[in-house]
C-alpha cells in the first residue's frame, strides 16, 4: 500500500512553525532527546566527583558537539565569573605575572583540533567485557577545535629561568586540580584555550580558560586554569601518584604515563545502536585516534579476527585528533564478531586486550587501548564480548 507519511498531510506541511525569535540559542530536534551524556551511578560515590560519557554511537564525523563532550569533575562544575578570574605565572620565572582574561586575548591566537581522552577510558574493561555500549566503554573522549593562545607565549612573557624544567598548572575549582608537566611539552604544543568549536568553553569544560595538552591524558588538561607555577622538579601531587599511575601485576607502578596510545572503536553497530534493517547493504563506522600522531589506517574484521579488511578513512586527518572510518559491506544476516584495529603514524598497531594484559596484568585501571569486540546476533542486536 501507499505510505501515509506521503499520502497524508503532516502538521508541519500545513501549519506555521516557530519564528526566528523562538530559539535564540538553538538546541537539537525534540526527536533527538535520547542523544545525551550518560553516567554510571555505581562507579563513584557522588556525581560531583564523577564522570559521564559521550554518546559516540549517536555521532558522525570527527567533531564532538560541545553539549555532548564527556565531563569529569573532582569537585563539581566551578561557576567562574570571568571578570574576577585571573591567571598567575609564578615560580622560576624572571617576572611573576598576573593576567586578566582580556590580557590573555591579546596574545596571538591559534586554532587546533585535538582529542581529549581520559586515561581511565575503557578502564572498567580490564577484567573482561563489562559495560554494554561504546558510550560506556569508550565515551570518555571528545574531539573539538580549540581556539586559544600558545602556552609558550604566556610562559615567555614571564621569562622561564634555565632551572625551570616543570610546570604545575592549577585549577580554580574546589579540588584545586594540579598536575606536573615537563617544560618540553609546555613549550611544544600546549595551549591555553578560551573557545571550543567556535564558542566560549562550556562551564563543564573549564570556562573561561583551560589547558590543552595535545595527545596526553585528559586529567592534565586542567580546567578553570588559574595558576601555572614553574619549578625545577615535579610535584607528585595526588592526581599523579594515588591516581593516574598504572599498577602492574608485580605490584610496581608506572608513573607519568602521559601519552595516549592509538585506539579505535566501532561505534555502529554497537550495543546501543543495533542493526535494525536486516540483511543487505550496511554501513559500519567508528572512530580512531592516537596521542602520538595521525591514523593513516584502520583494519576491520567481521569474523572475530580470522580475516581483516582495510576500512575507508574519511574526513580530515589531523595530528592528535579523532579520525573517522567506514566499512561498507553486504550483511548476510548471520552473526558477526566485529573488531577494529588502528595503526598510527609511528607504526604502532592497536593491541588486543590480552596482549595488554600479558604486559600489565589487570589492575592498572588506566590506558586500556585494547581492541574492542562486539557480537552482533542474527536479529542485529549487539553485545560487548571478549573472544579467544
Partner 1 sequence: MIGAAYMLANTMVPEVHAPVAETMGLTAKAESAPAPVPMVYALGRPATPEEVAAWDIDVRPDGHGLPDGSGDVWTGEELYIDNCAVCHGDFGEAIGRWPVLAGGQGSLTDDRPVKTIGSYWPYLSTVYDYVNRAMPFGNAQSLSDDEVYAITAYLLYLNDLVDDDFVLDQESFAAFEMPNQPAFYMDDRADTEYALFTGEPCMTNCAETVQITARAAVVDVTPEDEAAREARAAAHEAEEAVVEVAAVAAEPAAVEAEPVAVTEPAAAGPDLIAAGEKVFKKCAACHQVGDGARNRSGPALNNILGHPAGAVDGFRYSSVFQDMQAAGLVWTEDELAAFLTAPKTYAAGTKMSFRGLSDEEDLTAVIAYLGSFAE
Per CB under 8 A, which of residues 188..207 are in contact with partner 1? 188-189
Of positions 35, 101, 259, 313, contacts partner 1 by CB under 8 A: 259
- Nearest 5°: the CA angle 252, 255, 257 is 120
Interface residue with partner 1 among 88, 101, 145, 313 (CB under 8 A) is 88
Output the nine-digit C-alpha cell for 354.
590480552
Pick between residue 63 and residue 171 the one whose CB is nearest to partner 1. Answer: 171
Binding residues among 35-64 for partner 1 as defined by CB under 8 A = 38-49
Asked whether the beta carbons of 272 and 256 are under 8 A apart, the reply is no
Report the nearest approach of partner 1 to the CB of residue 206 (Å). 17
Establish if 103 lies at the interface with partner 1 (CB under 8 A): yes
Identify which of residues 17 and 388 has a Cβ nearer to partner 1 in the complex. 388
Listed in sequence order, the residues at least 6 apart from 236 whose beta carbon sits closer than 8 Å to its beta carbon are: 180
Q: Count how many residues are written for the chain.
A: 388
In the numeric block, the cell 595503526 is attached to 343
| CB of 17 vs partner 1, minimal distance in Å | 26
**Binding-site string for partner 1 from residue 223 to residue 242, where x marks contact by CB under 8 A and - marks none:** ---xx-x-x-x-xxxx--xx
Does 176 interact with partner 1 (rule: CB under 8 A)? Answer: yes
Place of cell 567506514: 326
| Residue 4, phi then psi, degrees to nearest 5 | -60, -20
Indicate the residue among 168 and 211 with the shorter CB distance to partner 1: 168
Residues 309-328 that bind partner 1 (CB under 8 A): 309
3-state class of 352 per DSSP?
Answer: coil
| 303 lies in the site for partner 1, by CB under 8 A | yes
Count of residues binding partner 1 (CB under 8 A)?
A: 117
Is residue 94 near partner 1 by the rule CB under 8 A?
yes
Please report whether residue 32 would count as binding partner 1 according to CB under 8 A.
Answer: no
Q: In Å, how far from its chain's centre is CA 62?
A: 11
Q: Does 286 bind partner 1 (CB under 8 A)?
A: no
Nearer to partner 1, 12 or 42 (CB): 42
Distance between CA atoms of 196 and 143, rounded to whole angstroms? Answer: 10
Decide if 126 contacts 364 (C-beta within 8 A): yes
Is residue 75 involved in binding partner 1 (CB under 8 A)? yes
Distance between CA 149 and CA 292 in Å, rounded?
A: 22
Taking Cα atoms as reference points, which of 149, 298, 269 lies closest to residue 209? 149
Amino acid at each position: 500500500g501507499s505510505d501515509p507519511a506521503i499520502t497524508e498531510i503532516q502538521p508541519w506541511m500545513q501549519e506555521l512553525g516557530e519564528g526566528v525569535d523562538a530559539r535564540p540559542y538553538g538546541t537539537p530536534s525534540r526527536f533527538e532527546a535520547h542523544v545525551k551524556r550518560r553516567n554510571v551511578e555505581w562507579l563513584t560515590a557522588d556525581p560531583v566527583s564523577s564522570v559521564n560519557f559521550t554518546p559516540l554511537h549517536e555521532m558522525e564525523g570527527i567533531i564532538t558537539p560541545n553539549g555532548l563532550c564527556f565531563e569529569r569533575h573532582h569537585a563539581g562544575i566551578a561557576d567562574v565569573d570571568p571578570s574576577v578570574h585571573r591567571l598567575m605565572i609564578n615560580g622560576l620565572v624572571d617576572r611573576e605575572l598576573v593576567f586578566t582574561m582580556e590580557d590573555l586575548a591579546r596574545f596571538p591566537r591559534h586554532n587546533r583540533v585535538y582529542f581529549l581522552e581520559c586515561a581511565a577510558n575503557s578502564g572498567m574493561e580490564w577484567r573482561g567485557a563489562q559495560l554494554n555500549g561504546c558510550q560506556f566503554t569508550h565515551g570518555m573522549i571528545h574531539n573539538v577545535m580549540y581556539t586559544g593562545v600558545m602556552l609558550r607565549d604566556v610562559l615567555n612573557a614571564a621569562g622561564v629561568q634555565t632551572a625551570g624544567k616543570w610546570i604545575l598548572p592549577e585549577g580554580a575549582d574546589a579540588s584545586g586540580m594540579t598536575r606536573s608537566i615537563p617544560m618540553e611539552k609546555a613549550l611544544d604544543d600546549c595551549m591555553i584555550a578560551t573557545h571550543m568549536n567556535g564558542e566560549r568553553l562550556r562551564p563543564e569544560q573549564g570556562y573561561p580558560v583551560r589547558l590543552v595538552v595535545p595527545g596526553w591524558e585528559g586529567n592534565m588538561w586542567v580546567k578553570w586554569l588559574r595558576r601555572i607555577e614553574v619549578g625545577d622538579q615535579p610535584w607528585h601531587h595526588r592526581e599523579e601518584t594515588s591516581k593516574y599511575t598504572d599498577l602492574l601485576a608485580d605490584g610496581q607502578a608506572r608513573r607519568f604515563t602521559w601519552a595516549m596510545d592509538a585506539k579505535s572503536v566501532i561505534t555502529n553497530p554497537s550495543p546501543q545502536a543495533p542493526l535494525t534493517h536486516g540483511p543487505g547493504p550496511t554501513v559500519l563506522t567508528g572512530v580512531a585516534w592516537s596521542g602520538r600522531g595521525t591514523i593513516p589506517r584502520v583494519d576491520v574484521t567481521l569474523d572475530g579476527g580470522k580475516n581483516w579488511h582495510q576500512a575507508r578513512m574519511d574526513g580530515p586527518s589531523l595530528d592528535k585528533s579523532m579520525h573517522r572510518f567506514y566499512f561498507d559491506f553486504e550483511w548476510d544476516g548471520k552473526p558477526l564478531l566485529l573488531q577494529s584495529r588502528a595503526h598510527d603514524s609511528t607504526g604502532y598497531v592497536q593491541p588486543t586486550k590480552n596482549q595488554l594484559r600479558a604486559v600489565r596484568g589487570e589492575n592498572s585501571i588506566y590506558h586500556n587501548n585494547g581492541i574492542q569486540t562486539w557480537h552482533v546476533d542474527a536479529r542485529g542486536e549487539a553485545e560487548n564480548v571478549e573472544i579467544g
